[in-house]
Structure 1
Amino acid sequence: MDSVNFLAHLHLADGDAGDMTGGVAADFVRYPDLHRLTPDVLRGVMLHRHIDGFTDRHPVTLRSISRVARTMGWFGGIVIDIYYDHILARDWLRYSAEPLAAFAARSYRVLEDGHGQLPEDARDFIRKFIDQDRLNRYASRDGIEDTLARVSKVIAKRIPNRAIPLTDAMPRLIECDAELAADFHAFYPELIAFVIQHKSERPV
């Protein structure tokens, strides 16, 4: 999937290059590819999947999805993932002392250094992700609308009989922005705590 919630994954993985690289590559790594990854990147892929599981089951995330379900139906979860990254980007300094631009530049360097070992589609995605400066673009409404349009194209290729333009969600997202922001800021500290706990329990 193209640029769904990678800002959050990178932020939660920060401090570990393998976690950061695996966090972005996870959606492109199929089961047969896992044994080809270095242990640190594999650990990042698994962290990404634990984060997704926690997020998908969380009642606050489900509440956010319900706010757009009438417009988006099954695709509401994808839309909320993207919009949560928008809220994180625009309110970045609530969660980091490092400016977003500096964090993005540092993340791009990590991805540049670590993406060579990944499957080809992951490498291609990371190259475009960096070139298009997706992390900084999350902070603007135009950037999120562009992300929704890009993801719509990917969905249309994969499941053309079910695809809908995700940009149709924009009026509803704008309408309930305050509620979605409140949801995100209630949810994200719990996700941070979950990741800290998970990292403390995994083998060194």
Structure 2
Amino acid sequence: MNFLAHLHLADGDPGDMAGGVAADFVRNPDLPSLTPDVLRGVMLHRLIDGFTDRHPLTLRSISRVSREFGWFGGILIDIYYDHILAREWTRYSTETLPSFAARSYRVLEDHLVGLPEDASDFMRRFVDEDRLNRYATLDGIEDTLARVSKVIAHRIPHRAMWLPDAMPLLISRDADLATDFHGFYPELMAFATEHKTNRPK
């Protein structure tokens, strides 16, 4: 899942929310330096990713794009699932998306200190660029895919691909991807809630 879903699933615990966004930039050697609440959020993020990566509906969505985009299929679906969540937000929340985004941004800003530099720099840009509300638009998703493409090209040049080229395919398969998502996401919500309820305080 991408950042909107991680924040939504972590909602109610500021450390979970901050850790949910920071997790992609935190390496195992960084873990001892995190505050306990943010560390808990990083661990929740990893559990959510594991559940997502194994789920048959997520795998079905990936199969809808992987013939054309191979290894990048999982990345495309993570990001496009956030688009589906954002545009149909009222199915999963009684709070408006702009209100949730503003509240999430305040949490992230409160947790910038003490994070690895990559994580804090990303979170600062994430807030400044209002990424959560932009996920609701196709332009915002295309821009996100462009940004991810640049990061991949920098970090693993042999894997470089211009992911915005996938937009026509994603749009053409939108109905099927939305069906997959709406079958999958309530199960993920239940998984995250159960984990948060049962973990040690």
Q: If the TM-score is normalised by the length of the shorter chain, which range does it land in?
A: over 0.9
Q: Give the conservation status (yes or no) of the 8 Å contact 1:71–1:168.
A: no
2:13 paired with 1:50: no
| Corresponding residue number in structure 1 for 2:89 | 92
- Structure 2 residues without counterparts, runs of 5 or longer: none
What is the Cα deviation at residue 200 of structure 1?
1.6
2:9 paired with 1:19: no
Deviations 1:12-42 (Å, cap 9, x if unpaired)?
0000000000000001111111001111100
What is the Cα deviation at residue 117 of structure 1?
1.2
| Corresponding residue number in structure 2 for 1:171 | 168
CA RMSD after TM alignment: 0.7
Amino acid of the residue matched to residue 168 of structure 1? D
2:132 paired with 1:156: no
| Corresponding residue number in structure 1 for 2:200 | 203
Among 185, 190, 200, the alignment partner of 1:193 is 190
CA distance in 2, matches of 1:115, 1:57: 31
TM-score, normalising length: structure 2: 0.99
- Structure 1 residues without counterparts, runs of 5 or longer: none
Among 138, 142, 158, the alignment partner of 1:141 is 138
Amino acid of the residue matched to residue 53 of structure 2? D
Deviations 1:123-180 (Å, cap 9, x if unpaired)?
1000100010000000000000000000000000111112111111111101010000
| Corresponding residue number in structure 2 for 1:62 | 59
CA distance in 1, matches of 2:51, 2:83: 19
TM-score, normalising length: structure 1: 0.97
- Secondary structure of 1:69's partner? helix
CA distance in 2, matches of 1:8, 1:150: 19
Amino acid of the residue matched to residue 135 of structure 1? L
